[in-house]
Chain A
């Protein structure tokens, strides 16, 4: 089946620094990838939609300058949390879809970010 690899699985960084999270589709080409954020005991909230070769589309309320998304190839999307603050601490999950609408989304294992 389709596999999405997300790296790192957890990261601790100091306030003010930036951290990059990678999301790779290992055995399929993903023209679209999605980035979600999940707070403890809450649901997944879509942050942005990442399209290969074009700018990401951010959901309302998501700071595009803080959460930089790059989708440079059909198998890789990155999320960079810039100038991280403790309130950015969260669980971030990416997902990717194979071709065609309504295909099941495949999720990465998530990244737990802790900003100290």
Chain B
């Protein structure tokens, strides 16, 4: 079974600085997608960024970028120029085949002004 592990229950960063959230996963498949979702206090799940496993190039969305290491099964999220609105729970997620998203445990990110 696929598993997703986020080893950092909580992280904090000063506003305007950079923070990296870690995620590792386990799968025997070669074709899959990885996602980072943000869940603010409203609890709405918001897609932050996604990465196709067959692409070597790391995905980037404005201030958000990933470091995808397929051999190491690692998928970290880097948030640059952190803003107060980035404060939320961040979930790493894996999907393969039947579109069943498997979520990590989540990392609560606090932005210090």
Contact = CB atoms under 8 A, between A and B. Distances in A.
Query: A and B from one assembly?
Result: yes
Interface of A: 32, 34, 38, 42-46, 49, 91, 93, 95, 97, 101-105, 107, 109-110
For the residues of A in contact with B, the DSSP-based class is strand
A104 B50 contact: yes
Contacts of B91: 43-44
Nearest to B50: A104
A105 B33 contact: no
Given A43-B104, A46-B100, A95-B101, A102 B44 contact: no
14 contacts: A34-B99, A38-B43, A43-B91, A45-B103, A49-B98, A49-B100, A93-B45, A95-B45, A101-B97, A102-B99, A103-B99, A105-B95, A107-B45, A109-B44
A44 B103 contact: yes
B99 A43 contact: no
Contacts of B105: 42-43
A102 B52 contact: yes
Determine which residue in A44, A93, A97, A110 has the highest number of CB atoms from chain B within 10 A of its CB, and name it. Answer: A44
Contacts of A42: 105-106
Given A49-B98, A95-B101, A104 B47 contact: yes
Contacts of A95: 45, 101
B68 interface: no
B75 interface: no
B42 interface: yes
Contacts of B102: 46
A97 B99 CA distance: 8
Interface string B87-113: 000010001011111111110000000
B100 A34 contact: yes
Given A34-B100, A42-B105, 14 more contacts: A43-B91, A43-B106, A44-B103, A46-B100, A49-B98, A49-B100, A95-B101, A102-B52, A103-B99, A104-B47, A104-B50, A105-B47, A105-B95, A110-B43
